Amino acid sequence: MVLCRNCGSQTIIKTSWTATNPGRKFYCCISRRGGCGFVDWAEGPSCQRAIDVFRHFMHEQQHVTVANQASEIRHLQDEALTMAVKYTRVKMLLLFSWVFFVLYYVVH
Ligand SMILES: [Zn+2]
């Protein structure tokens, strides 16, 4: 357990996902007041090969995410079109039911 050098509270280990330090672990203060802002690296800098592999992985992950979002957008557009058609049908049914009701009321 590493204690905060500023306030003596406990620290937790988090993982950096920045472009310059992808996957690098660091300590972060978790004092009751929301942390005092203390952070320190838990391990030395990654080698360039590891950084390149992480960046490649993160880049690929972004492509997968964008592809999934595009698929979800197409699905939601189809669903919105279907709902618009159903909404129009319900409006027409309501209109015809009122017309039928008025005609029935006038005739009888
Ligand atoms: Zn602290």
pLDDT tens per residue across span 7-19: 999 999 999 988 8
Whether 11 and 2 have beta carbons less than 8 Å apart is answered as yes
Q: Strand pairing partners for 29?
A: 11
Per-residue confidence (pLDDT) for residue 41, from 0 to 100: 96
User: What pLDDT is attached to residue 25?
Assistant: 94
pTM assigned to the model: 0.53
Rounded distance from Cα 17 to ligand 1 centre (Å): 22
Query: What is the distance in A from the centroid of ligand 1 to the CA of 32?
Result: 9
**What proportion of the chain, given as a percentage, has pLDDT over 90?**
60
What is the reported pLDDT for 57? 86
pLDDT tens by residue, 45-77: 988 998 898 888 888 888 898 889 999 999 999
